[in-house]
Amino acid sequence: MGFLENKRALIIGVASNRSIAWGVADAMHKQGAELAFTYQNEKLQSRVEKLATATGSNIVLPCDVASDESITDLFSGLKQSWSDFDILVHSVAFAPKEELAGDFVENTTREGSRLAHEISSYSLTALAKAARPMLRENSSIMSLSYLGAVRSMPNYNVMGLAKASLEANIRYMAYAMGPSGVRVNGISAGPIRTLAAAGIGDFRKMLDHVEENAPLRKNVSIEEVGNAAAFLCSDLASGITGEITYVDAGYSTVGMSGY
């Protein structure tokens, strides 16, 4: 029996079997959770449905996190299958590709900044607000961040600001939702080759650098991130909330690499 037996988890952000969200979903499924999924648009629908089937789930619903109406419709649709649930996984981020390379000051625009914050940070609050009436006691909300939230990183640019906002969001949400028994945490994952990461300039160099300098001398996998998320959303982590947990082969602990 897995440690998420009898838990229900809504996974938002799966785009392919290389998505961090899929690593989280797969880990939770292996630990016994019942899953539901969302897809952003019709282009991704069949792909997400196929992955959902692999976990035994037939609950796949549309959701555009940029639309309050779409978020409301998501939970109305989910109520057709579940009266309540235990885990909300938010693995969503976006910034215009042209702003994820080069000089931060020159390349960052007002609209790009607004969009990055709205999709990557505010959407977590919007989803939590809509999900709140359906969340059971002792439930959990999880989101995904990156080291660029707290340190400047080449080419990460406006997404670093958005992730910093997300991490603050997690802390404020943890305080607001804690009295009703809802825990809110984040994982700061090391760089992983995903569809979203492909938009970051010189991403291959980033992977190589982490592999050469992280204490474990490797990049992490979606499975490793997924396992950590499954733990943090389980009753085994009942005393943990408002935290950002690093799953990055120890890279964030390094002050100066060997020379």
Catalytic positions:
146, 156
Whether the CB-CB separation of 248 and 147 falls below 8 Å is answered with yes
Whether the CB-CB separation of 219 and 20 falls below 8 Å is answered with no
What's the Cα-to-Cα distance from 7 to each of 115, 137, 214, 223, rounded to whole Å? 33, 12, 34, 19
In whole angstroms, give the CA distance from residue 184 to residue 4: 17
For residue 102, count other CB atoms closer than 10 A to its CB. 14
In whole angstroms, give the CA distance from residue 4 to residue 131: 19
In whole angstroms, give the CA distance from residue 94 to residue 100: 10
Q: Which amino acid is at 177?
A: M
